């Protein structure tokens, strides 16, 4: 099973590499034929040359952005799960916290970024806070849905054995909510990255958002593109890490089972 | 209703589960809907009874009342002379859908009642394996529910219900979602399991042959309002093979029950009066 699993994974990553390489090839070909000025549209080769000219500098800035993204994301997952449990079990929290979250979600969170810079300064904390806030909503909404959408017969089964609310939570509602939580996390991880970049755009001295802004000021378009390519790469990696964790944590889920059978059939 | 201090064994066993003047009224916007009206019956220890009736006759509601999952409007239910208030101890339940938890292996699903009740799991592991063996699923311990067929899943659900040695087993149309052949097979399995370790079974079904095949006694129910209209004791030798359904004795029971339904305006037409 593990062998066919990793074979399927290999096939998937092969597809990704193929599509991305194709995209870059078409791009490079267009630049080669049309020869736009480099400050408007550099080709992929120029961009990769730029990346390789200062790999450590790019690595450091990437780590800065990733750190803020991951911390904001993880805090959002932890707080989001607790909030979702509270909302499902308490009418009061549903009426207050949930209502507030929905209202807050209607505000474009990027509009709040300047406030966090005022409150927390231009360092890591404000970026984490913006990441957290922007990632939180999808996690709470999906987890609430997952905790609620348990089979009523399963609830009756627990009741018939006099299961306490805690047992029902641990053995029924939480495992049932895991696939929903992961769906929320997949949306949230991309949003957390958006949050970190938004924070860096408003004010910062490090990170890929800072690289983009400062390079833009100097018309170093190749550098802007280099940072964007890195962001695309990192965003994809982060997404697939969440995807991988999901496969490990809930292998029973329907959307994965299909691939199990596919892989089994092909192998 | 014997209030005598000394009790004949037969009388005692006929009183394991006693329901008196049970009524269940659902409140809806349009007013009360009477799901059960004046249901009185008593079931003996280790007896296999069926609640048989068309949809809407309240047979599932009655089962849920016995299970303590549904509040009763009036009347009383008692088990071994203890009034039922909430789910009774030593009860196992099987629903129409197997309700196996997808994230647990077969054996862990069977052990779930231990988790729910907060019991140590280890002592029950051999029992879980024995039940799987008994019901013909030995070797499937570590499979996941989604790797099993519908019939196999429902067998696992039966094992789960039997794990903690319940004295009362409630089954709410457990084979209603299965195809006819799987259903026959599971009827045989259920009879075998029940004969190996007889416990009181209350079995809800709308299939007359299934009720006759499995039961010691059948409570025939009618609708609007839901009530018991007849009690039929099935006196056929056990173990009953599937072929017993082609015997005249079996057919007599089936047609007797059908006539009861016809008398109440249910099952009219096609094969009426033969």
- Closest approach of B122 to chain A, Cα-based (Å): 17
Residue A7 pLDDT: 81
Return the closest-CA partner of residue B78 out of B131, B21, B128, B117: B21
* Rounded Cα gap, residues B272 and B249, in angstroms: 19
Show residues of chain B in contact with A167, CB under 8 Å: 115-116, 118
The 10s digit of each residue's pLDDT in B34-54 is: 899 999 999 999 999 999 999
Return the closest-CA partner of residue A181 out of A50, A80, A58, A35: A80
Residue B104 pLDDT: 94
What value, to the nearest 5°, has the Cα angle with vertex B117 and ends B113 and B119?
Answer: 90
Show residues of chain B in contact with A157, CB under 8 Å: 93, 95, 99, 116
pLDDT of B3 over the 80 cut: no
Report the CATH fold assignment for A55-266.
MetI-like fold (1.10.3720)
Beta-carbon contacts of residue B224 (< 8 Å; ≥ 6 apart)? B56
pLDDT of B269 over the 80 cut: no
The 10s digit of each residue's pLDDT in B225-238 is: 899 999 999 999 99
pLDDT of B4 over the 50 cut: no
Residue A267 pLDDT: 31
Residue A60 pLDDT: 95
Cα-based distances in Å from B224 to B37, B54, B74, B77: 9, 11, 17, 22
- Closest approach of B201 to chain A, Cα-based (Å): 16
Mean pLDDT calculated for residue range B170-194: 93
How many separate helices (H) and strands (E) can be counted in chain B? 9, 10
Out of A104-108, A239-243, B246-250, which region has the weakest mean confidence (pLDDT)? A104-108
* Rounded Cα gap, residues B267 and B173, in angstroms: 19
Q: Could you tell me the pTM of the whole model? A: 0.84
Of B86, B113, B146, the CB nearest to A252: B146
pLDDT of B8 over the 60 cut: no
Q: pLDDT band for A258, please (50, 70, 90 cuts).
A: low
Residue B14 pLDDT: 62
Contact (CB<8Å) A257/B112: no
Under 8 Å between Cβ of A79 and A133: no
Describe the strand order of the beta sheet including B31-43 as a list of residue ranges. B31-43, B17-28, B74-79, B82-83
The 10s digit of each residue's pLDDT in B54-96 is: 988 999 999 999 999 999 999 999 998 888 888 998 999 999 9
Contact (CB<8Å) B97/A158: no
| Whether the complex's predicted ipTM surpasses the cut of 0.95 | no
pLDDT of B272 over the 50 cut: no
Of A156, A164, A167, the CB nearest to B69: A156
Contact (CB<8Å) A151/B99: yes
Show residues of chain B in contact with A252, CB under 8 Å: 102-103, 144, 146
The 10s digit of each residue's pLDDT in A209-255 is: 999 999 999 999 999 999 999 999 999 999 999 999 998 888 887 66
| B90: alpha, beta or left? (left if phi > 0; alpha if psi -120 to 50) | left
User: How does the average pLDDT of chain A come out, rounded?
Assistant: 90
């Amino acid at each position: 099973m593990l062998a066919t699993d990793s074979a399927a994974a290999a096939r998937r990553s092969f597809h990704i590499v193929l599509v991305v390489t194709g995209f870059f090839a078409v791009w490079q070909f267009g630049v080669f034929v049309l020869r736009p000025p480099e400050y408007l549209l550099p080709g992929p080769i120029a961009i990769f040359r730029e990346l390789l000219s200062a790999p450590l500098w790019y690595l450091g800035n990437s780590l800065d952005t990733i750190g803020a993204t991951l911390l904001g994301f993880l805090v959002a997952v932890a707080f989001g799960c607790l909030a979702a449990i509270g909302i499902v079990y308490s009418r009061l929290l549903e009426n207050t916290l949930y209502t507030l979250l929905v209202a807050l979600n209607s505000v474009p969170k990027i509009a709040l970024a300047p406030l966090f810079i005022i409150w927390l300064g231009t360092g890591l904390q404000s970026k984490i806070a913006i990441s957290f806030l922007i990632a939180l909503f999808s996690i709470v909404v999906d987890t609430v849905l997952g905790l609620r959408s348990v089979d009523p017969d399963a609830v009756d089964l627990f009741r018939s054995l006099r299961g306490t609310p805690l047992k029902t939570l641990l053995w029924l509602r939480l495992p049932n909510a895991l696939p929903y939580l992961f769906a929320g996390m997949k949306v949230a991880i991309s949003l957390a990255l958006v949050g970190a970049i938004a924070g860096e755009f408003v004010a910062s001295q490090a990170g890929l958002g800072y690289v983009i802004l400062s390079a833009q000021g100097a018309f170093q378009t190749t550098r802007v593109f280099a940072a964007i390519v890195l962001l695309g790469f990192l965003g994809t990696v982060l997404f697939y890490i969440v995807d991988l964790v999901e496969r490990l944590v809930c292998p029973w889920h329907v959307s994965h089972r299909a691939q199990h059978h596919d892989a089994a059939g092909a192998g | 209703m014997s209030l005598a201090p000394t009790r004949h064994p037969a009388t005692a066993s006929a009183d394991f589960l006693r329901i008196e003047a049970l009524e269940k009224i659902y409140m809806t916007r349009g007013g009360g809907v009477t799901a059960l009206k004046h249901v009185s019956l008593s079931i003996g220890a280790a007896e296999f009874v069926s609640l048989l009736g068309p949809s809407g006759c309240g047979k599932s509601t009655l089962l849920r009342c016995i299970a303590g999952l549904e509040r009763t409007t009036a009347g009383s239910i008692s088990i071994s002379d203890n009034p039922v208030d909430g789910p009774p101890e030593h009860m196992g339940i099987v629903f129409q859908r197997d309700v196996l938890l997808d994230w647990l292996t077969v054996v862990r699903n069977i052990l779930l009642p231990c988790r729910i009740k907060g019991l140590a799991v280890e002592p029950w592991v051999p029992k879980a394996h024995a039940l799987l063996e008994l019901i013909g699923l030995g070797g499937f311990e570590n499979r996941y529910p989604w790797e099993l067929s519908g019939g196999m899943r429902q067998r696992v659900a039966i094992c789960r219900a039997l794990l903690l040695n319940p004295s009362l087993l409630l089954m709410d149309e457990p084979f209603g979602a299965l195809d006819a052949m799987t259903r026959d097979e599971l009827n045989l399995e259920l009879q075998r399991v029940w004969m190996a370790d007889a416990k009181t079974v209350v079995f809800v079904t709308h299939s007359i042959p299934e009720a006759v095949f499995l039961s010691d006694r059948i409570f025939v129910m009618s609708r609007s309002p839901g009530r018991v209209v007849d009690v039929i004791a099935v006196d056929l030798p056990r173990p009953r093979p599937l072929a017993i359904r082609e015997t005249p004795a079996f057919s007599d029971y089936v047609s007797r029950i059908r006539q009861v339904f016809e008398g109440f305006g249910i099952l009219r037409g096609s094969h009426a009066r033969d």
